[in-house]
Structure 1
Amino acid sequence: MKTTVFEERSGGITISRVIRDYEYNMASRHFHEEYEIYYLLEGERYYFIDHSTHLVRNGSLVFINKNQVHKTSPVAGSSYHDRILIQLNSKQSDLVFTNPDFSLEEFFAEHSGVIRLDMDQQKYVEKLIYDMVREIREGQEGCRLMSGMRLMELLIYAARCLRQNDPYPVPAMLQTEKYLKVQEIADYISENYRSAGSLEEIAGRFFISKSYLSRIFKEVTGFTVNEYLNIRRIMKAKQLLSTPEPNVTAISEMLGYENVSYFERVFKKYAHTTPLRFRRQVLEDKKQLTERMGQSIITNKC
């Protein structure tokens, strides 16, 4: 059963708490333009991020950069979990997105991954989160500013915890031959997305059969090899489309696609829009964000 304890929205921030007591698998092909902060209150989950699998236990914070491939899956014998998810949409105006002294892009580039908190740190993080929820829910004067300030405090505090805490130990299960082999293959695809080759070629490079490669890659990551390769290519395409040049045909060739029509179909499948529309939207968003910078944004309504 799924229970939504709360879901609050304000100024580009969405906070939700959901409890599930069944074996929930996040949908495949999961990457998007929002930043995410995942906090596990109870339970255990596997969290695949980019090309590595992490065991996330209660009291862990997970930071997901925008357009970062990620997927959660259940741990055997531990289907129950209680989590809080904070999603940040930088297209919407708010203090945390327009403050010239704080960059979400830089923060998530430096701090994506899993942070394990001790008991005192957990209490402090939970207080900050529930303060944000209360501010949004009550909707008093300056609530967007207050919730944004709590969010910035949470991010800065988490960065300090990451520097202070001992490294998170890697569970023995994630050091098995299967997990290590999949991580090696995912690393290879991430670095060689333009010329990775066919499933047969990748399997041959790592001295395993196609069927075994297909099975273990799907089991560990939640993606097929071809899905993961295309996602990596489309992530790079989004980066290239965030500037006026090069043109779509050139980008298609740079990513290893044989023709631009096929590239456009794959891009639309994963990005839900065409390359040209994506470029226009990104450039317009950048223009609007630039216009907002330097302005003090305080509103009385959430």
Structure 2
Amino acid sequence: MFETGDFQTPAPPESGVADNAVASTPQDHWLYNELVDGFHIDRVVRDYNYSMDIRHIHEEYEIYYLLEGERYYFINQQTYLVTPGTLVFIDKEQIHRTGMASAGPHHDRIVLGIMEEPFSTFLASFGGLQLQSFFTEQGSILTLPEEMRPYIQSLLQDIASELIHKKPGYLLAAMTKLAEFFIAVLRLQPKGPVVSSPARHSNPKYQKVDEVAHYIVEHCTERISLEDLAGRFYINKFYLSRIFKEVTSFTINDYLNVNRIKKAHRLLLETDDSITSIAEQLGYENITYFERVFKKYRNMTPLKYRNYYRSETE
């Protein structure tokens, strides 16, 4: 089951294939949407100004493939312009959000979500491919050579077909296709993957948000206020607040907190520092407030979180 913690995604439309596609709005055309055994794959075509309206972060790995159109894609602290034939790799717990680019609203994309298990064990048993290392080292954006695009698209379509029709051995077949997909991407590396140019050169709004987001990530353990940021980046605080929420789906304060809580995760699991000490290291002056913020994003207190995940690894 896919989990998103406090960052909830809307319920997907019912599963189906192209001839029975479900439209959640008149402009959405769902070709398929399947969730089964740690896999989630869907394909949708949209012809309106669609942007994720939610704070999007989750526990599964995600692969986004754009077939048609152009999209701005905000990942962690940087905005990219994604064009047709581009793969986007989203690691676990990476902040990400798509928005309409200047080319217009039309886009056709496939999204594949993968849970850690059973895929980590499956891939590691055949050639030692490490799922976590792949997403950590691969980089976020890969624009495919023209000649590779039909092959990659066919692999993704084959995975979807296996999950839709559920013939005997479908999960093994889908996992095998996924392994073939990873091998194909890895073999592109010696040729040098092409990283899409950041959107900053074509849109000053995205450039400013990227600069502010980068600063927050680098200084998230310090005391940061909207007024401080507005002064540092020479921008009206109300305008900054509006465009930051528009691009990232986070308020300034929420974005600051989510980056602090990501650091808290590592400190809780990798050190024996007390909860009070961790709160202070993250810039929280009040341990009660830290515990409340942590529970908002992780659904449990810091102490329970530490005890739960340490017991899982013992």
Superposed pair shares fold, TM > 0.5: yes
SS, match of residue 262 in structure 2: helix
Question: Is residue 2:240 matched to residue 1:224?
Answer: no
- Alpha-carbon distance, 1:206 to partner: 3.0
Question: What does 1:138-217 align with in structure 2 at a 5 Å threshold?
Answer: 138-165=165-192, 167-168=194-195, 170=197, 174=201, 176-217=203-244
- 1:259 partner amino acid: N
SS, match of residue 116 in structure 2: coil
Question: Is residue 2:170 matched to residue 1:112?
Answer: no
- Alpha-carbon distance, 1:259 to partner: 1.5
The aligned counterpart of 1:75 is 101
SS, match of residue 61 in structure 1: strand
**Alpha carbons 1:94, 1:144 under 8 Å: kept:** no
Q: Summarize deviations over 1:199-256 as a string: whole Å, max 9, x none.
A: 2222333343423432343343332221211111111122233347334332222211
Structure 1 residue runs without a partner (length 5+): 288-302
- 1:159 partner amino acid: L
- Greater relative contact order (Cα < 8 A, sep 6+): 1
- Alpha-carbon distance, 1:162 to partner: 4.7
Question: Is residue 2:90 matched to residue 1:56?
Answer: no
* CA distance 1:277–1:143, shift in 2 (3 Å): farther
SS, match of residue 58 in structure 1: coil
Structure 2 residue runs without a partner (length 5+): 1-26
Question: What does 1:1-302 align with in structure 2 at a 5 Å threshold?
Answer: 1-76=27-102, 78-92=104-118, 95-96=121-122, 99=125, 101-165=128-192, 167-168=194-195, 170=197, 174=201, 176-243=203-270, 245-286=272-313
The aligned counterpart of 1:293 is none
**Alpha carbons 2:39, 2:113 under 8 Å: kept:** yes
2-11 or 120-129: bigger deviation: 2-11
* CA distance 1:137–1:216, shift in 2 (3 Å): closer
* Distance in 1 of aligned mates of 2:45 and 2:199: 27
SS, match of residue 79 in structure 1: coil
* Distance in 2 of aligned mates of 1:262 and 1:97: 41
* Distance in 2 of aligned mates of 1:20 and 1:284: 44
Q: Summarize deviations over 1:122-142 as a string: whole Å, max 9, x none.
A: 111111112222333343444
Aligned-pair identity in percent equals: 43
The aligned counterpart of 2:6 is none
Instruction: Give the TM-score, by structure 2 length.
Output: 0.81
SS, match of residue 84 in structure 1: strand
Aligned length: 287
- Alpha-carbon distance, 1:65 to partner: 0.5
* Distance in 2 of aligned mates of 1:87 and 1:197: 34
- 2:109 partner amino acid: R
**Alpha carbons 1:15, 1:87 under 8 Å: kept:** yes
**Alpha carbons 1:194, 1:233 under 8 Å: kept:** yes
* Distance in 1 of aligned mates of 2:203 and 2:107: 25
